[in-house]
Amino acid sequence: MRIGIIGSGMMGSTLGTLWAKAGHEVRFSSRHPETLDGLVQKVGANASRGTVDETAAWAEVIFLGVPFSAMPELADRLAAPLAGKLVLDANNVIPARDGALVDEVKLLGHGSGGWTQKRLPKSSVVKAFNTVHFKNLADAAHREEGRMGIPLAGNDARAMKKAEGLVLDGGFEPILVGDIATSARFDFGTKVWNSNMTGAQVREALGL
Ligand SMILES: NC(=O)c1ccc[n+]([C@@H]2O[C@H](COP(=O)([O-])OP(=O)(O)OC[C@H]3O[C@@H](n4cnc5c(N)ncnc54)[C@H](OP(=O)(O)O)[C@@H]3O)[C@@H](O)[C@H]2O)c1
């Protein structure tokens, strides 16, 4: 699959590396793509780099790992190129960091994933990977036993299936929580957030 990484920082570079290792074509993007040469070289043959807009147009699946404050402008700009595509949204909305957006997400009442889905109405947004610190993702990937659980929330069954596959390819256990509004159940500050739970533990914590 052609996976475009928007926000090739701690999260984007970690997951992009795991997906490239699993055989996917991964394009890392940046507002300064030349800064990604070292990463692309390290990841190897399946990796390339581009601008944010090129990457959005090229990819079949998009991974979003940017500060939430960047999202309003990015969503306006990328809604058209991302139409019809799976968008994996790992962003967290954090009170101390994201100001008025925190209230906007709360008011909407569909979790941070619901906010992104509203702003990318023609994409299939799946909330994923927002619960785990990037270092723990890198360390726990493909663990022999007790795979780390990655809760997923999204409205579109086909997109959820694809997201499940990408969680497995990364070396984790996908946990289907429900529609996009259920992303609120694993947003910043919830019981499962930053807990490093295994799949079984996530299921138990969320009563699934
Ligand atoms: N760090 C974690 O362990 C962790 C875990 C779970 C979820 N998250 C969430 O994932 C998101 C990313 O976190 P991170 O720690 O990976 O952040 P990060 O290392 O700071 O990387 C974020 C990337 O976003 C890009 N970016 C910033 N503003 C942008 C804009 N206006 N347009 C396009 N790209 C922009 C930057 O790329 P350029 O400057 O190269 O353009 C930067 O590399 C956040 O919402 C965070 O809450 C983080």
Domains of the chain: 2-205 (3.40.50.720)
**pLDDT tier at 48 (50, 70, 90 boundaries)?**
very high
**Radius of gyration (C-alpha) of the chain in whole angstroms:** 16
Token pair listed for 151: 């809760």
Query: With b meaning 16 or more CB within 10 Å and e meaning fewer, what string describes 94-106?
Result: beeebeebbeebe
Q: Measured from the CA of 97, which atom of ligand 1 is nearest?
A: 47
Q: For 93-198, where are the alpha helices, taking DSSP H only?
A: 95-98, 100-108, 111-119, 134-140, 157-170
Question: 10 CA distance to ligand 1 centroid (A)?
Answer: 7
To the nearest whole number, what is the mean pLDDT of the chain? 97
Q: What is the pLDDT of residue 53?
A: 98
Question: 128 CA distance to ligand 1 centroid (A)?
Answer: 15
Q: Measured from the CA of 73, which atom of ligand 1 is nearest?
A: 31
Share of the chain above pLDDT 90, in %: 99
pLDDT in tens, 126-157: 999 999 999 999 999 999 999 999 999 999 99
> What residues have CB less than 8 Å from 26, skipping those under 6 apart?
3, 4, 5, 16, 17, 19, 20, 43, 46, 47, 48
Task: Work out the average pLDDT over 5-14.
Answer: 98
Determine whether the shortest distance from the Cβ of 134 to ligand 1 is under 6 A: yes
pLDDT in tens, 142-197: 999 999 999 999 999 999 999 999 999 999 999 999 999 999 999 999 999 999 99
pLDDT in tens, 85-115: 999 999 999 999 998 999 999 999 999 999 9
Q: What is the pLDDT of residue 123?
A: 98
Q: What is the pLDDT of residue 30?
A: 98
Best residue among 6, 8, 11, 64 to mutate for probing ligand 1's pocket (most ligand atoms within 8 Å of CB) is: 11
> What residues have CB less than 8 Å from 102, skipping those under 6 apart?
93, 94, 95
Which residue, among 148, 144, 13, has the nearest Cα to 90 in the 3D structure?
A: 13
Q: Measured from the CA of 35, which atom of ligand 1 is nearest?
A: 40
Cα–Cα distance measured from residue 185 to residue 59, given in angstroms and rounded to the nearest whole number: 29
Q: What is the pLDDT of residue 199?
A: 98
Sheet with 25-29: list strands edge to edge. Answer: 47-50, 25-29, 2-6, 61-64, 86-89, 124-127, 149-154, 173-178
Q: What is the pLDDT of residue 205?
A: 98
Determine whether the shortest distance from the Cβ of 32 to ligand 1 is under 6 A: yes
* pTM for the model: 0.98
> What residues have CB less than 8 Å from 47, skipping those under 6 apart?
16, 20, 26, 27, 28, 39, 40
Q: What is the pLDDT of residue 138?
A: 97
Q: Measured from the CA of 92, which atom of ligand 1 is nearest?
A: 47
> What residues have CB less than 8 Å from 31, skipping those under 6 apart?
51, 52
Cα–Cα distance measured from residue 39 to residue 8, given in angstroms and rounded to the nearest whole number: 9
Q: What is the pLDDT of residue 167?
A: 98
Determine whether the shortest distance from the Cβ of 138 to ligand 1 is under 6 A: no
**pLDDT tier at 42 (50, 70, 90 boundaries)?**
very high
Q: What is the pLDDT of residue 92?
A: 98
85 class by beta-carbon count within 10 Å (0-12 exposed, 13-18 middle, 19+ buried):
buried
**In what helix (H) or strand (E) does residue 78 lie, and over which residues does it extend?**
helix 71-78
